[in-house]
Structure formats: structure tokens, C-alpha cells
């Protein structure tokens, strides 16, 4: 813990992440993000209103309060990223542990699958898969984007976990467990998994940041959560037309995405440095 606290960037990232979570849960000052107020939320010419005491981040083209939509979008984006990261973790953990512990042809086969997925650009593959899933009966929910990000985002986790597991597979601890007759599942659960948890935590946090950014990108192109759920990516898309006359419509969700991704990356890099330092010692 002292090694983590010694890193200013990591501490800043942890504080920002905590504030984002509190913001998403408590939604301070956030009203109904879907409430239309054509009479008071728009100017006489029908244009969005700039930031004011009544609307700290102004209003959008339908008279909706931007602050309410930003804090509601935080909950939506963080929830989607969290579930997608969990899906990716389950796949990556299973593949990484199996490849690293079994070795041989199992390792070769699973790593070739990983290489195949990595051969496609992450965002293009996500757009393709999201578009296909939107044609199914899941289109009315957030399931397509959650499954998309989970399915395409597991490869890095699998490679990192596989590397850590492979390093442990021939250690004296594992050899002794085998000699005592422990089953492979018991060895993996009792001996391998606890020793790769540090790497798992790091890749989960960094994967979360990637999923946040990817969720915003998919929402921007219309492949995110279906309307009327507010998301930062859709807010960017809706505000692009008014970037000159009402720049707050772009700045508010844009800064929210920027700060969130930076926060989780700082936290992830801080955790990586902390765990690497412990391993060297």
C-alpha cells in the first residue's frame, strides 16, 4: 500500500475513480435526464441555453438539463464497462489459465485463437459485432454492446494471465503439489490463481478504461445503449451540430470521457508499478 501511495499519478487516479463512482451512484443535483423543457430550456430562437445557475452545464437542443444527462450517463457508461470487463475477465481468465498450465498443443491452439482475434483492429471488430448483435432480439437492451466489448476485449487479459501462469507451471510449489497428487483444477485454484491476482487486477482496471472509451465510440456511431438512455457517446453525437453555437454540448460529455479514461489508466499504471515492485522484491 505504501508503494501505491508513493505514486502521485496512481493516487490521483484512485481519487478520480472514487469521485466518478460516487457521482454515478449519488447523482448530486441531477434531475430527470429525459425531461423536456421546451419553454424554459431553450432560447426564444429555440437554441440550447448556456450554463447558468439553474443549469450548471446548460441545456441541450431539446431543453434537457446537460448536467443531469452527464451524471446519468456516468452510471450508464460505468455499468456497461463494468459488466463488459467482467465478461472479458471470465473468458480471458479461463483461456489464460488453461493455456499457461496445460502448455503443449493446448497452449499453442489457444494462443493462435488469441492472435487471430488480435489481427483485427479492436474498434472495427467491435463495430462489426455490435452491428450484428443489434439485428437480433437483443436490440432493445444494452446486451449487444456489453457482449461486444466482452467478446473482443478478453485477448490482452488472456495473454497476460497465460504468461504469469506459464512462469508458475514449473515452479517448485506446483511440482510439489503434483507430487502430492493434487488435481489440476485444485492446483490452479489453490496455487496458481492467488499468485496471478495482481496481474488480473491490473489488466481489469486497464481493460475497464478501454471499454469506457469503446462504449463511447460505439454510442457515437449509434451502436450503444438504445435511446432514450443517456450515454456520453450519444451526447457527443447529438451535440456535434451545435459545437459552434453551444460548445457545452460537446465539452461536457467529452471532458467526462477524457477524465474517466485518464483516471482508470492512472490507477491501472499505478497498480502495475506496485505489483511489479513487490515481485522484484
Give domain status of residue 51, yes or no.
Answer: no
> Tell me, what CATH number does 237's domain have?
1.10.3720.10
Rounded CA separation 88/152 (Å): 8
Phi-psi region of 37 (alpha: psi -120 to 50; beta: other; left: phi over 0): beta
Q: What does the alpha-carbon distance between residue 127 and residue 53 come to, in Å, rounded to a whole number?
A: 39
C-alpha to C-alpha distance for 43 and 235, rounded to whole angstroms: 20
Pairwise CA distance, residues 261 & 210, whole Å: 7
pLDDT at 110: 92
Domain residues for 226? 2-26+66-275
- Grid look-up 490482452 returns 156
What backbone phi and psi angles, to 5 degrees, belong to 115?
Answer: -60, -35
Spatial distance between the Cα atoms of 86 and 131, rounded to a whole number of angstroms:
21
Task: Tell me if 76 sits within 8 A of 231, measured CB to CB.
Answer: yes
Identify the H or E element spanning 193: helix 193-220
- Residue 44 falls inside a structural domain: no
C-beta of residue 172 within 8 angstroms of C-beta of residue 180: no
Looking at the structure of the chain, the number of domains it has is: 1
Q: What is the pLDDT of residue 20?
A: 92
Q: How far apart are CA 16 and CA 13, in angstroms?
A: 5
Residue among 167, 149, 169, 165 nearest 200 (CA): 165
Residue 64 phi, psi dihedral angles, 5° rounding: -80, 145
Residue 181 forms part of a structural domain: yes
Residue 32 within any structural domain of the chain? no
Residues with pLDDT less than 70, the chain: 1-4, 30, 137-140, 276-281
Asked whether residue 46 is assigned to any structural domain, the reply reads: no
Contacts of 202 (CB under 8 A, 6+ apart): 160, 268, 271, 272, 275
53: cell is: 445557475
Q: Residue 34 falls within a domain, yes or no?
A: no
At residue 136, the 3 state secondary structure works out as coil
For cell 491476482, what's the residue? 197
Residue 196 lies in a domain: yes
Amino acid at each position: 500500500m505504501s508503494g501505491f501511495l508513493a505514486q502521485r499519478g496512481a493516487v490521483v487516479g484512485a481519487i478520480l475513480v472514487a469521485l466518478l463512482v460516487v457521482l454515478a451512484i449519488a447523482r448530486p443535483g441531477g434531475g430527470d435526464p429525459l425531461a423536456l423543457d421546451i419553454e424554459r430550456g431553450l432560447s426564444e430562437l429555440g437554441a440550447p441555453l448556456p450554463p447558468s445557475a439553474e443549469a450548471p452545464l446548460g441545456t441541450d437542443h431539446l431543453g434537457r438539463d446537460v448536467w443531469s444527462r452527464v451524471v446519468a450517463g456516468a452510471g450508464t457508461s460505468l455499468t456497461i464497462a463494468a459488466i463488459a470487463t467482467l465478461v472479458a475477465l471470465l473468458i480471458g481468465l479461463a483461456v489464460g489459465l488453461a493455456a499457461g498450465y496445460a502448455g503443449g498443443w493446448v497452449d499453442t491452439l489457444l494462443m493462435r485463437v488469441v492472435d487471430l482475434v488480435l489481427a483485427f483492429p479492436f474498434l472495427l471488430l467491435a463495430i462489426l459485432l455490435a452491428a450484428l448483435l443489434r439485428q437480433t432480439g437483443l436490440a432493445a437492451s444494452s446486451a449487444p454492446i456489453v457482449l461486444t466489448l466482452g467478446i473482443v476485449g478478453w485477448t490482452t487479459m488472456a495473454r497476460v494471465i497465460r504468461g504469469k501462469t506459464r512462469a508458475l507451471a514449473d515452479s517448485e510449489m506446483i511440482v510439489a503439489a503434483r507430487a502430492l497428487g493434487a488435481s489440476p483444477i485444485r492446483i490452479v485454484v489453490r496455487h496458481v490463481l492467488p499468485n496471478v491476482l495482481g496481474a488480473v487486477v491490473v489488466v481489469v482496471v486497464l481493460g475497464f478504461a478501454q471499454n469506457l472509451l469503446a462504449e463511447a465510440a460505439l454510442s457515437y456511431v449509434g451502436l450503444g445503449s438504445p435511446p432514450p438512455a443517456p450515454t456520453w457517446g450519444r451526447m457527443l453525437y447529438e451535440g456535434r451540430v451545435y459545437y459552434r453555437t453551444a460548445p457545452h454540448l460537446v465539452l461536457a460529455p467529452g471532458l467526462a470521457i477524457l477524465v474517466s479514461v485518464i483516471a482508470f489508466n492512472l490507477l491501472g499504471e499505478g497498480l502495475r508499478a506496485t505489483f511489479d515492485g513487490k515481485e522484484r522484491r
